[in-house]
Amino acid sequence: MSGPTYQPVESPDATTVFPYHDLTPPTTKDVFRARRIVSKYLPKTPLVRSELLSEELDADVYLKREDTLPTGAFKVRGGITLGARLDDEFREQGLIAASTGNHGQSVAYAGREFGLPVTIAVPDDPNPGKVRSMERMGATVEERGEGYDAAREWAENQAAEKGYRYVHSANEPDLVAGVGTAGLEVLDELPDVDTVFCPVGGGSGAAGYCLTLGAISDARVVGVQAEGANAVYRGFHEGHLDPGDGTNTTAEGIASHVPFALTMEIMRGRLADLETVNDDEIWDAVVAMFREENITIEGASGAAIAAALRAGDDLAGQTVVVPTSGRNVAGDKLIRALEER
């Protein structure tokens, strides 16, 4: 027996939202409430000083090791929070989402934890490791078109037709509050932080740090996008939510060309700046972390590290935090980057 179906409603951005999507941004209080859930289901991640980056920048640089979470990426904090609070009417039909990998893994993990059916739409030729991970957690993975947005549109249509609960990749207060719990963990160990560099795809991670380190310790939170996928960068600086012209980056975790209303509202209020780095800088950072720190990170994480390295002397004497947001780099990409550098 299926549950009720919903049709899309007017959206403030270029994505589809349904009546059950609350576009009211979460608050710092909501992050504290989410922590009660996250701490029950997920381990606290380490905060580790990076000797390489500290020496390079003449600063105290700490890595928030979100790559150590069960799915290898920060987004699972949000998936668990949303899954724990899911309305009963959606539990039989389950969840559907579109993802290049990490968002999908977080939804799949929540589905397994709470006994929910999960379908994840991915672009053609997806990261094979991320697909295997989602399938191992019981999700049905559907390759649906060239690029993320083709997969997203298919998932949105399926949600309308079949009554799945569509888990938007950013316009979800529970997701943002959940991923924000990482910032509370940082504050537990390091109350005085000057600057945070955070990769931005849809912006949930940066928004979470804005609500925690930005709001509580008054740290500067700097978002980082890839030059070839800079729609959020342009929307942030130009004051709009218009989609970009596509994506041209090999860092698939931040390969989004549509700004999202909820996270953009939070970032506009508290983000100190939003910058871009190019793919060469991204993969230089990935390789440096692999060779010098023995840490495997994906391109999205490399973007944040690249921005910190570009800042250089401006960070001297500061306490800096960089989340290693995920470790799920495709093997061929890592091998190619290592061979080329």
pLDDT in tens, 50-72: 999 999 999 999 999 999 999 99
How do residues 100-139 score in pLDDT, each as one tens digit? 789 999 999 999 999 999 999 998 888 888 899 999 999 9
Closest CA to 191 of 216, 222, 220: 216
pTM of the model: 0.95
Q: Are residues 162 and 224 in the same domain?
A: no
Is residue 14 included in any domain, yes or no? no
Q: Are 322 and 308 in contact (CB under 8 A)?
A: yes
Q: Put residue 208 in one of left, alpha, beta given phi > 0 → left and psi -120 to 50 → alpha.
A: alpha
Q: Are 202 and 262 in contact (CB under 8 A)?
A: no
Cα dihedral 198, 304, 252, 242 in deg (nearest 10): 60
Domain containing residue 35: 28-74+173-340
Share of the chain above pLDDT 70, in %: 99
pLDDT for 129 equals: 85
Q: Are residues 236 and 328 in the same domain?
A: yes
Q: Are residues 32 and 135 in the same domain?
A: no
d(CA 50, CA 146): 38
Q: Are residues 47 and 101 in the same domain?
A: no
| Domain of residue 235, CATH code | 3.40.50.1100
Q: Are 281 and 310 in contact (CB under 8 A)?
A: yes
Is residue 58 included in any domain, yes or no? yes
Q: Are residues 192 and 149 in the same domain?
A: no
Number of domains the chain is built from: 2
Provide the 3-class DSSP secondary structure of residue 6: coil
Q: Are residues 201 and 59 in the same domain?
A: yes
Binning pLDDT at 50, 70 and 90, where does residue 1 land? very low
